[in-house]
A and B are shown apart, each in its own frame.
Chain A
């Protein structure tokens, strides 16, 4: 990567940072400081705006660069990710979005606490929400560090560390000063940039092949060196049965995890009604679906035009496939077109990371302030307003994420994302679905289902080959791995559901019929919704 790329990319980065800081200042001028304003942006976003913001919240740099890179390296197996990430939205649309909008105010715990003993349920759901958010945040920070260093050519440790620190500082500023309103607009801007960049590259790839998808696929297969096997599953996840089961586990976590991600759930509170929440999910499914369809074209395009060998030489996990493709589509290294396209892709990837981390930071600060602080605070201690606590929590979470991001910088990003999804699917989804749909669900069931999913998921990862016992482990020197899979989903998700069921049937207290009636009526009609 030459100096020109870096200069132009840096200019675009700075422009995006300037615009987002401008949005944050603009928004905070009109700030009222209420919880409604801070967590939910006043609840008056339109479905179109929220649809773009959801898409901006969800499509991370891991999707943009990671999935296309996986397709460029392994062909069809990279596509399996995109399918899981998209189908997951049906769970959100059909079972979660509208009902959560109607029952809750700011967080996941609101929905559960509506019909249970408030304190234990809030502590449990708040803890698991923070755990999921921090895992996801660390994944994004690690990704940001290596990505920016990669794109700017400086692969030195110092450049990576400073990127992580810079991203962390920016997200704390966005969230604690601008709250949900600034975060939403940043996500909208990012979604527009990402879609525009992806559409432009896709059109250029298709033009190169004169619109002939068949010739695109055949060229990719030829150039890959695997022949037609490149277009069929098995190159990456073929292997032994452990690898295959691991993939099924990941697939399960992807499809069930999205509906348990706190930063996705909190987006539904920014629109006025359940109907608007539904329409925003419809918008976001359209955006996310077409985005993933285009990443497939970009991935195979990179395989056909650059070739997996060259992609792998630039970055072993394929993250540079799209930037390299942009360089080639613009006219090759050294040309003006190539320089401009490359810098645009780099800037879009950077914008993507900033928007995603801001969304997660906001959701986790809401969990800390609204769920944990309000439940754990000593009765006679000095009272701070919840929004003040949330702003401080955002700074604390930012600091924690910077620290963990620096510690974990050599971990594989895709694995961290898969793990966050697995914890969300095991700890958050069961309690959410039981609360919304099961008449007999009790407080004990709710608490057990959260911890019964959270603890196994985390423990199984600690004794998995990710942490010890393999050459790519966190601690390659020691071996205490007992569990063969990298992703715990296939075991921990059923355990979460099972624990909720056992907790409920062994519960000494009967379920609260009246509060169940209230939850159900409110969920389906919107009566009394915030």
Chain B
């Protein structure tokens, strides 16, 4: 972990003088993440010694922990958005272009259109529940850890 390239090493040694607290945290965590990539805390951002907030954010963005959070988020919301938009468009187009189909009775006074309309309400409620659950169980904890890590790294960095 200490064998970072020369540029960053030089910057980091300058940092250490400016901010010993930052340095202590960074090297401590850095050993943990760098020394045991599989066995240590898997979410930790591998710390390299960086000197500006821009570099810190780039660093965090490239870290596997962040990629994992982003992947989990995108793998849920992109397909889900596509699905509900298509289902809604299909509903609107069917209501305007195929009223005959929509008027077909299902049970009593209830017809296909009524079932489809209430189905839109139902799928909206279900997807809301599923998204909230997914975010709570699969994303919140990892995102919060990244947040503290990132804020810890950016604390004490002089804004350019």
Contacts and interface: CB of A to CB of B under 8 A. Distances in A.
Interface in A250-289: 251-252, 255, 275, 278-279, 281-282, 285-286, 289
Could you tell me the dominant secondary structure of chain A's interface residues? Answer: helix
A484 to B, nearest CB: 15
A495 interface: no
Interface string B35-48: 00000000000000
Contacts of A289: 121, 124-125
Given A251-B92, A514-B57, A524 B124 contact: no
Interface residues of A, number: 57
Interface stretch (A83-91, A158-166, A197-205): A83-91
Given A80-B92, A231-B114, A514-B54, A218 B109 contact: yes
A525 B125 CA distance: 26
A279 B121 contact: no
Contacts of B69: 524-525
Contacts of B89: 251-252
A357 B124 CA distance: 27
A89 B127 CA distance: 11
Given A90-B124, A94-B77, A518 B113 contact: no
Contact of B61 (A77, A83, A229, A517): A517
A248 B92 contact: yes
B109 A221 contact: yes
A218 B146 CA distance: 57
Contact of A217 (B96, B110, B131): B110
B157 to A, nearest CB: 11
B143 A526 contact: yes
A509 to B, nearest CB: 17
Contacts of B143: 524-526
Contacts, number: 162
A524 B91 contact: no
A521 B60 contact: yes
Interface in A511-530: 513-515, 517-518, 520-522, 524-528
A87 B128 contact: no
Pick the most buried of B73, B89, B109: most chain A CB atoms within 10 A of its CB.
B109
A513 B103 contact: no
B54 A285 contact: no
Nearest to A246: B96
A242 to B, nearest CB: 11
Contacts of B95: 77, 80, 233, 237, 247
B131 A93 contact: yes
Could you tell me the dominant secondary structure of chain B's interface residues? Answer: helix
A221 B146 CA distance: 57
A214 B54 contact: no
A528 B111 contact: no
Contact of B54 (A237, A518, A524): A518
A244 B150 contact: no
A76 interface: yes
Pick the most buried of A214, A232, A289, A528: most chain B CB atoms within 10 A of its CB.
A232
Pick the most buried of B77, B99, B102: most chain A CB atoms within 10 A of its CB.
B99
Interface stretch (B1-9, B14-22, B78-86): B78-86
A522 B121 CA distance: 32
Contacts of A526: 143-144, 147
Given A83-B121, A247-B92, A526-B147, A228 B109 contact: yes
A48 interface: no
Interface string A84-104: 101101110111001000000
Nearest to B132: A282
B132 to A, nearest CB: 5
7 contacts: A83-B91, A94-B127, A233-B113, A255-B88, A285-B125, A517-B57, A527-B147
Interface of B: 53-55, 57-58, 60-61, 66, 69-70, 73, 77, 80-81, 84-85, 88-89, 91-93, 95-97, 99, 102-103, 105, 108-111, 113-114, 117, 120-121, 124-125, 127-129, 131-132, 135, 140, 143-144, 146-147, 150-151, 154
